[in-house]
Amino acid sequence: MQMVLQQIALWFLSVLTALSSLSLPAKPAQTDYPKAAVTAKTLLLTNAPADGSALTLASMQGLLANVSEKNLLFRAGNYRTWLPEVSVEVLETQENGKAWDLPALLKEFAPFFDGYILCDEESAAIALSIAKQKNSIVVLPAFQETVREAGLSMTKDVRGMTDLKFRLTPEFRKLRRDVAFEQPAAFAPRLVDYAVMCGAYVWYDENVLLKSQHSNVFAFLNDDALVFGYNNDLGEYRTVSSLSNRNACLIPADHAYNLSVLSGFPTVSVRQKTAAKDSSGGRTVCLLMSDGDNLQWFMNSYADKAHYGSPVRGTFPFAWGVPACAADLASPYLARYYREMTGNDEFVLSLSGLGYTFPSKWTNPLARNRMIGTLAKKMEALDTRALLVLDDDGFSSPAMNALAKNTPAEGIFYIDFHDYAGLHGKTRFVDGKPIVGARYKLWNGNPGCSPEEIAAAVNALPADPQNPDSYAFIIVHAWSGLNESGAFVEGGNTLAAVEKLVGLLDENTDVVTPGVFLERLKQTQGR
């Protein structure tokens, strides 16, 4: 019975969304990533609490990002990595030496707010969605008295309100249509601060497990919209394909901390340090890390010893993914990663567009072309010369042609969702630019995908630059690697596995960076 009622509610949601979208005011297409209106100058460090007060603190952080040069910063998300890259005053404790807790931060910042929105756990997403409109922090009942003691009054009580009821309100009509968030409010302070800063719709329902149902939720958005977060219950494929059918991009960021503050720092324009390399003949191999689109990873463990922070990084040519949003939303991280580059490192724009999407599944080519135009600008800002695209049977699609023709990419590295290396190195050219499928994948648990097996396969390829089978693009699964015993396992040291693979290649094999790989393909295989 409960399932039937849920289906009826979701049908009603689709009808309601369609009707409400007709009356929503037209807004311009997405042209950039939302950034905080103010650059922080002073940051008060606080721990990320494990209780419901995290919701209040995160909403506070998001509101302050648009109005105050002083803000709070959570000790989370590898924050020590980027703090040295910016000019800010950091206050570890209060003047009396005590930690910055909720009462102290309320005392410091209460004058900036018009009040608070009272919610329960079920309606917290609604409260986050309208916090900017009301200029009010979000509060669960357990913390209401603490907020009252700081002098704040309730501006709205959304307890008991459902998402269906919310869609009938004036507040829903005022929400922006270029950005939305798919994030459990219980994940606070992760990501929800940025949702509040944006003044955007927040939603999550673990019971919505059909792609069509999921797509209806976001029917009110513009074409080429951005959806931040993730849906672990729906799963990667259904989430991404659902949004792709809505002409939207997903930006995986459900574990991103302090994004509202980070977005306030100036957008950076960076330059790569990749060194040129002449052809030595024989075979040519390019190794590229997967998951570079994953903003939460980029801001958390990207720099750990299994990945970019590996002591073996720089001892062999290797490619790293960088998300298109990094220059706008995580510029301090980006500045550090580019500053620490070696001549053997190269960054490749990842993945598929302004976020994770299947370009071939977009139903509006005009919207896709607008997205690609913005993507081209991001590639220039990031000084990237190649694209990594993950699509769903899109290798030969018009979308891939458009990406090749309308971006500064010298070529495209393609992986298919259902088998990253399913094209076995197949290559085609568009306007002289190679679109090359992965020949091998370094991925634990798959037959033929260990360092030893791939090295043996590469060494058996023809060592003739004129032969298309002498080129091998290898996609490296970010979550596979060597354990302490040297076994290739899930969750092992990824760069250690790559180092082992490179060491097993024979003298007739040349490992190069993406730019060199694409140039050799053009010189020897281009028609």
Domain positions in the chain? 31-263, 283-525
* pLDDT confidence of residue 526: 80
Cβ count within 10 A of residue 69: 14
Alpha helices in 208-263 (DSSP H): 211-217, 236-245, 259-263
Task: Tell me what pLDDT residue 18 has.
Answer: 47
Cα separation, 402 vs 420, whole angstroms: 21
How far apart (Å, rounded) are the C-alpha atoms in residues 117 and 138?
5
* Half-sphere exposure at residue 363, Cβ-oriented, CA atoms within 13 angstroms: 8
Copy the structure tokens of residue 301: 């463990």
Token pair 């409010």: residue: 185
Hey, which bits of 259-408 come out as E strands?
Answer: 283-289, 318-322, 345-350, 387-391
pLDDT at 17 (0 to 100): 53
Length of the chain: 527
- Decide: helix, strand or coil at residue 272: coil
DSSP symbol at 265: S
Q: Residue 506's CB: how many other CB atoms inside 10 A? A: 12
Tens digit of each residue's pLDDT, the chain (527 residues)? 444 444 455 545 555 554 444 444 433 334 489 999 999 999 999 999 999 999 999 999 999 999 999 999 999 988 998 999 999 999 999 999 999 999 999 999 999 999 999 999 999 999 999 999 999 999 999 999 999 999 999 999 999 999 999 999 999 999 999 999 999 999 999 999 999 999 999 999 999 988 889 999 999 999 999 999 999 999 999 999 999 999 999 999 999 999 999 999 998 889 999 998 777 789 999 999 999 999 999 999 999 999 999 999 999 999 999 999 999 999 999 999 999 999 999 999 998 999 999 999 999 999 999 999 999 999 999 999 999 999 999 999 999 999 999 999 999 999 999 999 999 999 999 999 999 999 999 999 999 999 999 999 999 999 999 999 999 999 999 999 999 999 999 999 999 999 999 999 999 999 999 999 999 999 998 86
Q: Which residues lie closer than 8 Å to 387 by C-beta, 6 or more apart?
A: 348, 349, 350, 379, 403, 407, 409, 411, 412, 413
Give me the CATH topology for the region 283-525: TIM Barrel (3.20.20)
Neighbours of 128 (CB within 10 A): 29
Distance CA 367, CA 30 (A): 10
- For the chain, helix (H) and strand (E) counts, in that order, are 20, 22
Angle at which helices 53-64 and 124-134 cross, to 10°:
30
Which value, to the nearest 10 degrees, does the dihedral of the CA atoms of residues 411, 417, 422, 425 take? 10
Long-range CB contacts (within 8 A, 24+) of 92-95: 92/45, 93/45
CA 308 to chain centroid, in Å, comes to 17
pLDDT score of 197 = 98
Tokens 């396969």 found at: 457
Looking at residue 281, what is its pLDDT? 82
Please tell me the pTM assigned to this model: 0.94
